Amino acid sequence: MSNPTSTSDPLIDILKRLKDRGVPFVIVGGYAAVAHGSPLPTYDMDVCSPLDPATASLIIDVLQPLSPKWRDRPDQPVVRPDNSNLLDIKNMSLVPSHGRFDVLGHVAGVGDYLQ
């Protein structure tokens, strides 16, 4: 199980990279639950962020050193910031070199980042 307060957790390092580059996001899912005291293990990171083309491209740019791939299409090349799929994407399920990372443009029952 990943510890969301660990400074050696590679998924937490991704959050630091996003924050340093000014990507707006909020942690949701298992990491958020563990941070609030849940004993359930979590093996990926879920964040909610606006997924307009500029933000989606910035997220992928931040992840470039980690060679992100689409989780459902690992046979495809590394996702690049100019990938045409980023123009109208709702969610990104990625596999960077450090675990699984999901970026949700909308969280069911909650809404989008601004809500």
Spell out the per-residue pLDDT of the chain, length 115, in tens: 444 444 577 888 999 999 999 999 998 876 666 666 777 777 788 999 999 999 999 999 999 999 999 999 989 999 999 999 999 999 999 998 878 899 999 988 888 888 7
Q: Are 62 and 23 in contact (CB under 8 A)?
A: yes
Predicted pLDDT at 6: 47
Domain total for the chain? 1
The one-letter amino acid code at 52 reads D
How many DSSP H helices and E strands does the chain contain?
3, 7
What is the residue range of 107's domain?
A: 10-112
5 falls within a domain? no
98 falls within a domain? yes
2 falls within a domain? no
Q: Using alpha carbons only, how large is the chain's radius of gyration in Å?
A: 13
Distance CA 92, CA 8 (A): 24
CATH number of the domain bearing residue 82:
3.30.460.40
